[in-house]
């Protein structure tokens, strides 16, 4: 019997030593974003959305929420967006548990995207025209997901990721 790759990765990373490195508060905050924004999307799309929260935190910009993942996830900043998927009520237990798994993988450093994605939008839910014109849309490969992903070339804190390769 062939074991799917995701389960192999999760088993390898869920040892007691790695579980201690996860901040449960951060885990919950990222999981809320994944659940609210992408619970019906393919795994790869969910992981990129989780990473976008991490990359916003690493940018440490006030308008993203600073260096606190939960401030970034819940957009507790002076500038708020109209739609905030992180505030969705949890009604699908299976999707919530998958969101927790995805958040944990991102916090452990698994699946860092090639591009330093800091913005995403699902055009089937809302228009993506709110993105600034200076953002660059990037592709994460064919997944069947609905999201569009963007990088901000003006973020110097993320310039180290420009040369990253999976």
Instruction: Give the C-alpha separation, 74 to 1, whole Å.
Output: 42
pLDDT at 150 over 70: yes
- Average pLDDT on 76-100 reads 76
Instruction: Give the C-alpha separation, 75 to 65, whole Å.
Output: 6
Q: What's the mean pLDDT when you consider all of the chain?
A: 78
Compute the half-sphere exposure of residue 59: CA atoms within 13 Å on the CB side of its CA: 26
pTM for this prediction: 0.76
Q: Are 137 and 150 spatial neighbours (Cβ–Cβ below 8 Å)?
A: yes
pLDDT at 105 over 50: yes
Instruction: Give the C-alpha separation, 12 to 71, whole Å.
Output: 30
Instruction: Give the C-alpha separation, 152 to 162, whole Å.
Output: 11
């Amino acid at each position: 019997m062939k074991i799917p790759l995701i389960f192999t990765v999760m088993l390898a990373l869920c040892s007691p030593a790695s579980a201690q490195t996860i901040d449960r508060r951060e885990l919950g905050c990222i999981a809320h974003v994944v659940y609210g924004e992408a619970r019906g999307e393919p795994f790869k799309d969910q992981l990129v959305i989780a990473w976008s929260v991490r990359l916003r935190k690493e940018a440490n910009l006030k308008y993203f929420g600073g260096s606190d993942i939960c401030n970034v996830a819940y957009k507790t900043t002076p500038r708020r967006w109209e739609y905030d998927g992180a505030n969705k009520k949890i009604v699908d237990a299976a999707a919530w548990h998958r969101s927790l798994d995805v958040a944990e993988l991102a916090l452990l450093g698994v699946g860092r995207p090639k591009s330093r994605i800091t913005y995403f939008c699902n055009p089937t839910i809302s228009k993506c025209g709110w993105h600034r014109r200076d953002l660059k849309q990037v592709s994460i490969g064919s997944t069947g997901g609905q999201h569009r992903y963007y990088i901000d070339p003006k973020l110097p804190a993320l310039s180290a990721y420009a040369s990253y390769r999976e």
